[in-house]
Amino acid sequence: MGILDFLSGQFIDVIHWTDDTRDTLVWRFEREGHEIKYGAKLTVREGQAAVFVHEGQLADVFTPGLYMLETNNMPILTTLQHWDHGFNSPFKSEIYFVNTTRFPDLKWGTKNPIICRDAEFGPVRLRAFGTYAIRVTDPGRFMTEIVGTDGEFTKDEISFQIRNVLVQEIGRVLASSGIPVLDMAANTADLAKLVVKAIEPIVAAYGIALPEFYIENISLPDEVEKALDKRTSMGIVGDLGRYAQYSAAEAMTRAADNPSGGMGAGLGMGMGMMVGQSGPWGAPAASAPATAAPPPPPPVEHVWHIAEAGATKGPFSLASMGRQAAEGALTRDSLVWTPGQDGWKRAGDVAELARLFTVMPPPPPPPGA
């Protein structure tokens, strides 16, 4: 450094920081020999804080505003140096600007599977990933606990430290949540709140907070997901026997439409015959027992009415009509009617009643014959 640069540095009395990197949390104001001129102007913009460190000890923290670096503005530093109000020489200190804005879209993810106990599947291994945001809430504590003497501290450095704490709490929350695996996707917001609540005291000790935390995905191992897909497919298919027959019929249709013909069509028909004679997964289907034909309904028994002397009698059952025929009260010439018959008819002309007269024995022979 030349003598002119050194001399010009002695007259620089404006200390400020503008950042366009979007990833710097802490930046140290560099001066030759760390000499800050007494009475210099310090500009702290919104979203920033300025931390004074004197001889390795945190002296003061300045919030957004314009400050004159004098003893009345730095009582702690004044006590350390035992300055009087007329002391105008430079003092050797360091000024660190801390970005207090939110740093979003930081990634987290589980390196190894988390073993959980599920009520439906038993022990399962889960993986999870998502995003979060950080913000410095206590610049002084953040400097003493995390940054130290690093002249330029980025979000990647702090995210590496926080990620391990996040993954540890994620594993604990998932393992103890008691939420079924199939319902975790619907409860990611609640799980995220549990993680933030568990990790807040830890990160607060570093002077930072997590204004945002998201669980984007919770997944099972590939083998388990494939088995779950098969189970879902079986549930959608329903009757596997009918599905296999339908698939065979589709194959036969495609084979028949294939102009290259012959073998494909024959193969399709053969598959259709095999599937038609087989159960689910190709197993021989048990022959269905022949269903016995239902018995015919019992015949409807007619009831009869008898017309006699301008009046009707009845109804009478067939057995009652037989007794009357045996007693002679019913003859072949008696007029009878039953529901469904077309008018009155002679009993001898009705086939169902004519049998009553044919079975009657002939009249007995006269005595002495």
Q: Is residue 285 part of a domain?
A: no
Residue 293, in any domain of the structure = no
Domain boundary among 223, 248, 269: 223
Q: Give the model confidence (pLDDT) of 75-120 as tens digits.
A: 555 444 544 444 444 566 788 999 999 999 999 998 888 888 888 8
Are 92 and 149 found together in one domain?
A: no
* SS3 state at 179: coil
- What CATH number is given to the structural domain containing 314? 3.30.1490
- DSSP structural state of residue 101: S
Q: What pLDDT is attached to residue 11?
A: 47
In whole angstroms, give the CA distance from residue 57 to residue 44.
21
Q: Is residue 262 part of a domain?
A: no
pLDDT band at 9 (very low <50, low <70, confident <90, very high): very low
* Claim to verify: residue 93 and residue 50 sit in the same structural domain: yes
Same-domain status, 146 and 212: yes
Total structural domains in the chain? 3
Residue in the structure block whose two tokens are 């004159």: 68
Helix 222-237 to helix 240-257 angle (10° resolution) is: 90
pLDDT in tens, 141-188: 999 888 888 888 898 888 888 888 888 888 888 888 888 888 888 899
Could you give the CA distance from residue 200 to residue 210 in angstroms, rounded to a whole number?
A: 7
Residues 182 and 92 in one domain: no
The tokens describing 63, both together, are 């919030």
Could you tell me how many residues make up the chain? 369
Same domain (yes/no): 56, 31: yes
Residue 166 and residue 58 share a domain:
no
For residues 95 and 15, membership in a common domain is answered with yes
- Contacts of 196-200 spanning 24+ positions with Cβ under 8 A: 198/169, 198/172, 198/173, 199/165, 199/166, 199/169
Residue 332 and residue 339: Cα distance in Å, rounded?
Answer: 19
In a domain, residue 288? The reply is no
User: Among 164, 200, 146, 199, which residue's Cα sits nearest to residue 25?
Assistant: 146
Asked if residue 228 is part of any domain, the answer here is no
User: For residue 167, what are the domain limits?
Assistant: 103-223
pLDDT for res 300: 65
Is position 207 within any domain?
yes
> pLDDT grade, residue 54 (50/70/90)?
confident
Q: Which of 206, 223, 240 is the last residue of a domain?
A: 223
Confidence of residue 327 (pLDDT cuts 50, 70, 90): confident
Residues 6+ away with beta carbon under 8 Å from 72 = 85
Residue 144 lies in a domain: yes
**Do 109 and 122 reside in the same domain of the chain?**
yes
CATH of residue 110: 3.30.479.30
157 and 78 part of one domain: no
**Final residue of a domain: which of 79, 99, 119?**
99
- Edge-first strand listing for the sheet containing 311-316: 311-316, 304-308, 335-337, 345-346
Q: Are residues 129 and 187 in the same domain?
A: yes
Higher per-residue confidence, 228 vs 210: 210
124: nearest Cα among 225, 215, 195, 216? 225
Kindly report whether the global pTM for this prediction surpasses the value 0.85.
no
**How far is 258 from 32, CA to CA, in rounded Å?**
86
Predicted confidence band at 62 (pLDDT cuts at 50, 70, 90)? Answer: very high
Same domain, 17 and 85: yes
What one-letter code names the amino acid at 362?
A: P
- Judge whether 260 lies within some domain: no
Residue 206: is its pLDDT beyond 70? yes
pLDDT (average), residues 51-57:
82
Q: Are residues 95 and 108 in the same domain?
A: no
Instruction: Report helix, strand or coil for 45.
Output: coil
Q: How far apart are CA 333 and CA 344, in angstroms?
A: 11
For residue 269, the surrounding DSSP H or E stretch is helix 262-276
pLDDT band at 72 (very low <50, low <70, confident <90, very high): low
